[in-house]
Structure 1
Amino acid sequence: MPGGSIYVQQDAKFAGSSPQWWYEKFWREDTKNRQKSRAVKAAVGVVAGIGLSIRFDLQPLVLYALAAGALVAAADWWWCWHTFNTTAVWRGKRRGEAITGRLLRRSLGRRGYRVLDGRAIRGQASIDHLVIGPGGLWIIDNESWSPDIEIAAYGGRLFFGEKYGTKEVKPLIDTAAAFADLLTRETGIEVTITPLLAVHCGSLPRGGSVTAEGITLARPRVAARRIKAVPDVVLDAEQIEVLARTAARELQRA
């Protein structure tokens, strides 16, 4: 194992044969092509700026033309950066649970929701986030697929590319039921838990979410918005406190 250690297992994301390694390699190699494309777009922006300046009699013409070109170049740079940045979790450069946890607290904290991170039933499955609030309970896990994997629902079934998605999501659905049983038994409050899968990389339908087979997959921001948008109040402040205390006590940190 040249350059490595026989005692430390290598992370596949950084191995030379991994999809992540090839993705970053091709991205770097394509830098010059992106720069050439950006220059062409900026030139088109300059021409458009000249046309608008003449049409609306804007002076000085050169200033508006250059500003239009710079704006187009900046927008193109941002889009390229954004596209690459959305793969950060898949590439192992960022932690999905840290991103989602921060978004959940920022979006839901002031609305009476409690967010517990990294919880598990002893000897059973674990989850990244447990959300308890006026609208009910949710468990959220974080996943990431390659950028070209299409995540969609057809005929009520979930698909990841050409493969069925049942095996990918069933463990989280089963965990939601197990968590609900435990909290109901320990608190005497009848609860159900809705499973959500926060998708950090992969191609979702327009709108950033898809629901099938009893689970919703959504971008982290969309997941937080869906919880916040629930109109019904099913738990009061006292019940939320009891459930949160019980979850903190009975569910061990993963």
Structure 2
Amino acid sequence: MPGGSIYVQQDEKFTGSSPQWWYEKFWREDAQNRRKSRYVKAAGGFLVGVALAYRFGLALAPAFGLLAAALTAAADWYLAWWSFRRTAVWRGARRGEVITGRLLRRSLARRGYRVLDGRAIRDQASIDHLVIGPTGVWIIDNESWSPDTEIGAYGGRLFIGEKYGTKVAKPLVETAEAFAELLGRETGVPVTITPMLAVHCGNLPKGGTVAAEGLILLKPRLIARVVRQAERVVYDKAQVELLARVAARELRRV
């Protein structure tokens, strides 16, 4: 398969084409099969609707059957559409930092949090989002892997597919430490920063969150909730404004 296993010899027909290109190609080619499957499911929905109508003595049983068929087809179409849409960042059709930034502002701005996008210390790694609020400070980057990539933690180690995730976690942890040192030095306020990675495509465990090697990986829609529900109140309003102002001044915009 595209982007296949390190233990399986690559098929020559995939050489020179990206996994994303093949994914979209197979998706388009499978459209007819999806339609046929949808017709079968709709027929099943029609039979179930008619059977239920007769079971409960309802009039116009065929109408209930048609309604059930329509709902079944609509649900099947939506699930197929959603499975394709959730790969948009991985396919390059959408930008992960735009999605996450919008979610953060929608959920956190009115609760006293400040969100700064695209920040970096000169000659060091940049980050997509810096969040400062009453419950602490976070840096958030965005990443996306192929839909079949398993992401998990075992024995305290992060795994992304068949590989260790240290190369993903370590730079973000080090960047968080560097940002914390700079903000603490410039403001005189003790700062500890929690690094997060918004995963736009890839298989996270049930619950949508993995924590390992100092990094939290989670679905973008869960980030604001995790930030709000942190079990502490670290900064008052004045400290939040001070940290945000210094961050905007000292951290280079990228």
Q: Same fold (TM over 0.5)?
A: yes
How do 1:35-184 residues align onto structure 2 when only pairs under 5 Å count? 35-184=35-184
C-alpha distance in structure 2 between counterparts of 1:155 and 1:196, whole Å: 20
Per the alignment, residue 186 of structure 2 pairs with 186
Give the deviation of 1:231 after TM superposition: 3.4
SS at match of 1:139: strand
Per the alignment, residue 11 of structure 1 pairs with none
Q: Which runs of 4+ in 1 moved over 4 A?
A: none
| Alignment-mate amino acid for residue 250 of structure 1 | E
C-alpha distance in structure 1 between counterparts of 2:230 and 2:165, whole Å: 26
SS at match of 1:90: helix
C-alpha distance in structure 2 between counterparts of 1:225 and 1:82, whole Å: 23
| Alignment-mate amino acid for residue 210 of structure 2 | V
Aligned residues of 2:169 and 2:214 also touching (Cα < 8 A)? no
Question: Normalising to structure 1: TM-score of the pair?
Answer: 0.93
| Alignment-mate amino acid for residue 123 of structure 1 | D
Q: Within the alignment, does 1:217 sit opposite 2:217 as a pair? A: yes
Aligned residues of 2:119 and 2:126 also touching (Cα < 8 A)? yes
Give the deviation of 1:169 after TM superposition: 1.4
Unaligned runs of 5+ in 2: 1-14
Aligned residues of 1:16 and 1:22 also touching (Cα < 8 A)? no
C-alpha distance in structure 2 between counterparts of 1:227 and 1:178, whole Å: 20
Give the deviation of 1:110 after TM superposition: 1.1
SS at match of 1:131: strand
Aligned residues of 2:89 and 2:96 also touching (Cα < 8 A)? yes
Identity of aligned residues (%): 69
Per the alignment, residue 230 of structure 2 pairs with 230
| Alignment-mate amino acid for residue 173 of structure 1 | V
Per the alignment, residue 3 of structure 1 pairs with none
Q: Number of matched residues?
A: 240
Per the alignment, residue 12 of structure 2 pairs with none
Give the deviation of 1:170 after TM superposition: 0.7
C-alpha distance in structure 2 between counterparts of 1:32 and 1:186, whole Å: 61
| Alignment-mate amino acid for residue 124 of structure 1 | Q
C-alpha distance in structure 2 between counterparts of 1:230 and 1:59, whole Å: 54
SS at match of 2:203: coil
C-alpha distance in structure 1 between counterparts of 2:21 and 2:220, whole Å: 25
What is the CA deviation profile of residues 183-228 of structure 1, one whole-angstrom value per residue up to 9, with x for unaligned ones? Answer: 0000000010000000000011111111111111001001121112
Per the alignment, residue 7 of structure 2 pairs with none
Aligned residues of 1:107 and 1:228 also touching (Cα < 8 A)? no
Q: Within the alignment, does 1:24 sit opposite 2:10 as a pair? A: no
